[in-house]
Amino acid sequence: MNSKTKKIVYGALIAAVYAAVTVALAPISYGQVQVRVAEALTIMPFFSSYSIFGLFVGCIIANMIGGNGIFDVVFGSLATLISAVITYYIGKSNLRYKRYLAPLPPVVINGIIIGIELNFLYKLPLVASMLWVGLGEMIACYVLGLPLLLYIDKNDKIKSVIG
Show me where the domains of the chain are located: 3-162
The answer on pLDDT for 44 being more than 80 is yes
Kindly indicate the confidence band of residue 2, based on its pLDDT and cuts at 50, 70 and 90: confident
Structure confidence at residue 16 (pLDDT): 99
The stretch 39-43 carries a mean pLDDT of: 99
- What is the rounded distance in angstroms from the CA atom of residue 118 to the CA atom of residue 103? 22
Please report the pLDDT score of residue 93 as a whole number.
99
The mean pLDDT of 64-68, rounded to a whole number, is: 95
Q: How far is CA 54 from CA 9, 42, 87, 113, 150, in A?
A: 9, 10, 14, 20, 21
CA 114 to chain centre: 13
- What pLDDT does residue 163 have? 80
Confidence tier at 91 by pLDDT (50, 70, 90): very high
